[in-house]
Amino acid sequence: MQKTRKIYLALIMLFLYAPIFVLVAQSFNASRYRGHWTGFTWEWYTALFENEDILAALGNTLTIGVTAAVCATLLALLTAVAMRRMGTRTRTLFNGVANIPLLNADIVTGISLMLLFLGLGLRLGYDTILLAHIVICLPYAMLCILPQVLELDDVCYEAALDLGASPFCAFRKVVLPELVPGIVAAFLLSFVMSADDFIVTYFTKGAGIDTLTTEIYAELKLGIHPEMYALSTLFFAAVVVFTVLLVLNFRVLRRYRGRMARQGGQA
């Protein structure tokens, strides 16, 4: 049984990582063409920093991702605080509206936003992509923040008020620290959703501007620039390093806490 489990896990991991190995291998492939291995090269990694299309698209992806994630997280936080004091029916309605972009198909969201922007007379471009990304990030931000806000206990907040703190000060010093994990999760998840989105961006971007995903889609027809593989390999390596550090940090923290608890018990 134990063996079957390990084999099953290994097969799933093979399935999940096979395309990633292929992409990493391509980034070192001397040939420009997919699937022909002609030798090892670093060339694409140096070429990456000279390819202005890719760098511009990367810039757009990063700035749109961060701005959309910040806006979605703030709006989700504000809304979640308001939802605490609502009746069940209003809350269900709010939840329903918030979840529409999550349950709706991306293609319908993209088309509907495009029709809206054009109907309002906006020119499709950077700003419309940003607005659209806040729309698709908001449900994920809500998903992370709302449960934590609803579980908050009023007692500490009211104690702070009784001790003379202003509502804002009480919120910042008492409530906010408890919400930090949810806020961080909301920001990260929103950023990932924004950076990885293709379909909604595709319909709301207009001509002359690209994010990484639309740039990749445009390149697909002519053959992807190998610099793109180099970029995604670098990005993936960064994520792996970050994750490993996170795991190590988590372990050290747990050991440290365990030791503190033991010492506390002795004293």
Partner 1 sequence: MHKDWSIRRLFGVPFVLWGVLFVVLPLFFVLHAGLTDEVGTFTLAVLGEAVQWEYLKALGLSVLLALVSTLACLVLGYPLCLILREYRQKNGMIIFLLFLLPLWMNSLLTTMAWQTILERNGVLNLFLGALGLPTLQLVNTPAAIVIGMVYNFLPYMVLPLFVSVSKVDKSVIEAARDLGASHWQTLRYVMLPLTRAGIISGCTMVFIPALTTFVISALLGGNKVLLIGNIIEQEFTAAYDWQLGSALSMVLMIFIILNMLLEFFTSEDNERKEARV
CA dihedral 226, 231, 233, 239 (to 10 degrees): -170
How far, in Å, CA of 215 to CA of 100, rounded? 28
Among 199, 200, 209, 230, binds partner 1 (CB under 8 A): 199
Long-range residue pairs from 13-20, CB within 8 A, at least 24 positions apart, any chain: 20/236
**Binding segment for partner 1 among 38-46, 48-56, 178-186, 242-250 (CB under 8 A)?**
242-250
Residues 11-50 that bind partner 1 (CB under 8 A): 12-13, 15-20, 22-23, 26, 34-35
Residues 112-151 that bind partner 1 (CB under 8 A): 112-116, 119, 131, 134-135, 138
Rank residues 43 and 106 by Cβ distance to partner 1 and give the closer one.
106
Rank residues 167 and 259 by Cβ distance to partner 1 and give the closer one.
167
Among 38, 46, 59, 78, binds partner 1 (CB under 8 A): 78
Rank residues 88 and 263 by Cβ distance to partner 1 and give the closer one.
88
What tokens appear for 49 in the block? 């920093």
CA dihedral 133, 135, 140, 143 (to 10 degrees): 160
Rank residues 4 and 263 by Cβ distance to partner 1 and give the closer one.
4
Say if CB 73 and CB 141 are below 8 A apart.
Answer: yes
CB of 260 to partner 1, least distance (A): 21
Query: Radius of gyration (Cα) for the chain, nearest Å?
Result: 23
